[in-house]
Amino acid sequence: MNIYNNTGLGTTIWSPLAAGLLTGKYNQGTPPESRMALQGFDWLANKQLSEARLAITCQLTHLAAELGVPLARVAIAWTIKNPHVTTAILGATRPEQLLQNLGSLDVVTLLTTEVMERIEGILQNKPVQQ
């Protein structure tokens, strides 16, 4: 992470909800009106809707429920809590989704060190600095 500190730059996060996976709407299967159900998007569904990713999403959904907030807000808050992130590009398709996503700003304070450690325990994808 020295590159961010040395250059004074940050990173831009695209699709912090992983094409909708981190909304939790795929936990019980693929809704017929969802993007992943559209013809021609099977490549995306095959990538995002693996059993392993769905299992992780279900665990994160339970954690979000314990916090009393939607998973989407936790996912975006987790992204913007990273001090090296300067921008998170939200892909809302409806005004209510945008309002829901902007509510993530209120969730950042819920992501205590303990909660962040629990998230890391679920994700197990934290980069290791060498």
User: With a threshold of 0.85, does the pTM exceed it?
Assistant: yes
Instruction: Output the six-digit token pair for 69.
Output: 């907030």
Helix (H) or strand (E) run with residue 14 in it:
strand 11-14
Q: Write the class of the CATH domain 10-123.
A: alpha beta
Exposed e or buried b per residue across 26-39, where buried means at least 16 C-beta atoms within 10 angstroms of its C-beta = beeeeeeebebeee
Integer Cα distance of 53 and 51 in angstroms: 6
Domain boundaries defined on the chain:
10-123
pLDDT at 95: 94
Answer left, alpha or beta for residue 27, where phi above 0 means left and psi between -120 and 50 means alpha: alpha
pLDDT at 129: 72
Instruction: Output the six-digit token pair for 80.
Output: 């913007």
- pLDDT per residue rounded down to tens, the chain (130 residues): 677 778 888 899 999 999 889 999 999 999 998 888 989 998 998 888 999 999 999 999 999 999 999 999 999 999 999 999 999 999 888 899 999 999 999 999 999 999 999 999 999 988 777 6
